[in-house]
A and B are shown apart, each in its own frame.
Chain A
Amino acid sequence: MSASSQRPCSEWELMLHGLVDGELDAAHSLQVESHIATCAHCAGQLESLQALKQRVAQKGVQWRTPDHVRAQVLATISREAAMQARSLAGAPASRHGDARFSVLGFVRQWLFVPSLAALAASLFLVLAPVSDRSSIPDEVLAGHVRSLLVDHLTDVATSDRHTVKPWFNGKIDFSPPVVDLAQGGFPLQGGRVDYIGGRVVAALVYKRQSHIINVFVWPAAAGATTPTLPTTASRDGYNMANWSVGGLTFWAVSDVNADDLTRFREAFSSRTAQ
């Protein structure tokens, strides 16, 4: 049982692969094709290669990115972008370029430390608890800004709450109340999933004139059974309102004025309390 009897045309093998992959130039394609015309073995090989390609590439083999993974990756990127923007803005205006350069230089030095993997791993361990401690209001605000920056305000864009509510089924493990507040001057724009406080949350999008209001909804932490008192706060020029009802925590954030946001909160929570 010699190797040549097992694979009579081994010198053609890579060429056959090149042919099915469309990687051969015209001259070589012709060469292979004229060989195949006279060689039953290689013709059979070519056929089984094509069958294999089809089998592997069929629908359902490729893994789909789960929604929560997509949301988490996008949230990480925008948080990183916000941090970079903030650190650049924090440098004194006159020495803006210098400060930026020295920061980059510092980062570059460390990037070339040979034990990059170990460093990255330890950095991750050090940073992970810190990011856990980053406050919910910060993350809510980042989620709002991100939704406006990324041109990804809504995954489901409709003013019909009967479309928005079922859309969340299967994407998140709770059912957020979707109310229509158009009469109060806050028309519904749609919904999407977002990522806040280490979990996938529902985001409902409303409008007040030309201003966008994001409402983030997720189940209140176990143990926090009593509804917290509604609070309204201002942060970086944005207004935020927080309340909880029916075991769910709500955060509304927008650049509308505080009075409008308070009215929005009252309208929203009175409709959900019914």
Chain B
Amino acid sequence: MAANDDDAIAQAKDRSRQSSSMASASDAVSAGRPSTSANDQYGRFQREIVPHLDAAYNFARFLSRNPDAAQDIVQEAFLRAYRRFDGYQGGDARAWIFSIVRNCYHNWLLEGRRKARVEIDVHGRDDGGGFSIDDVPSDDDTPESALLKSSEAGKVRHVLNKLPRSLREVLVLRELEGLSYRQMAETLALPIGTVMSRLARGRTQFEIAWRAEAAVQEKQR
């Protein structure tokens, strides 16, 4: 492919610097599309929901602690969000997409549990338990690797990933996504008082785990 790069045509380049006005092209496309309402919905979704894709991915990644799962969860969440978008009344967009991400995360857990039961059928636990898989750290984001913990940010991720999910998610929503207590209550479908006490507990647990981590590293030195 390198052979294609050898000739630079400056004059052609200058000629090609035109304004990239897209009006005619997009007009042609929308004229060919019969349903303007579908396009409206599409445009609105692009403006109001898609900007929260990064936040949704971050949330899914910290919930699942697994890059592949986070990808699937976000993908499924945005598809569902799009299908339900005409029922969305314009409340808090982030709380809305976060709650869908959370539902998709729960489905991913159920799916994993179902598969685990089919594949190894050893744990005769009843379905109501709900903690077994959730609290086993996944192998991707929680390895005890020096690489992951080489930076302070990496250590923070590591310690967050060690916390139980209920505490991890309030810390992520509050400290990384900057949600208000009210938005968190909406996302998690909890009373504000519960959100506050979980947040306080989450911070205390984080502090304890952070110090323990520092002590371990001190010893290894």
Contact = CB atoms under 8 A, between A and B. Distances in A.
Interface size class of B (residues with CB under 8 A): 35 or more
Contact of B13 (A77, A159, A178): A159
Contacts of A14: 196-197, 200
A113 interface: no
Contact of B3 (A84, A162, A188, A274): A274
A180 B9 contact: yes
Interface in A202-219: 207, 210-212
Chain A: number of interface residues, binned into ranges:
35 or more
B166 interface: no
Given A76-B75, A153-B22, A117 B107 contact: yes
Given A58-B153, A73-B53, A212-B25, A88 B38 contact: yes
Contact of B38 (A85, A190, A246): A85
A160 B15 CA distance: 11
Contact of A182 (B5, B16, B107): B16
A18 interface: yes
Contacts of B62: 63
Given A81-B38, A148-B26, A179 B4 contact: yes
B42 A149 contact: yes
Interface in A46-80: 48-49, 52-53, 55-66, 69-70, 72-74, 76-78, 80
A48 B21 CA distance: 53
A232 interface: no
B200 A13 contact: yes
A121 B206 CA distance: 35
Nearest to A93: B34
B135 interface: no
B221 interface: no
Interface in B112-168: 114, 151-154, 156-157, 160
Contacts of B212: none
B16 A187 contact: yes
Interface of B: 1, 3-5, 8-9, 12-13, 15-18, 20-22, 24-26, 28-30, 32-35, 37-39, 41-42, 45-46, 50, 53-54, 57-58, 61-62, 67, 70-71, 74-76, 78-79, 82-83, 106-107, 110-111, 114, 151-154, 156-157, 160, 171, 174-176, 180-181, 196-197, 199-200, 203, 206-207, 210
Given A159-B13, A179-B4, A272-B4, 7 more contacts: A69-B70, A76-B78, A78-B42, A150-B46, A153-B20, A175-B1, A189-B20
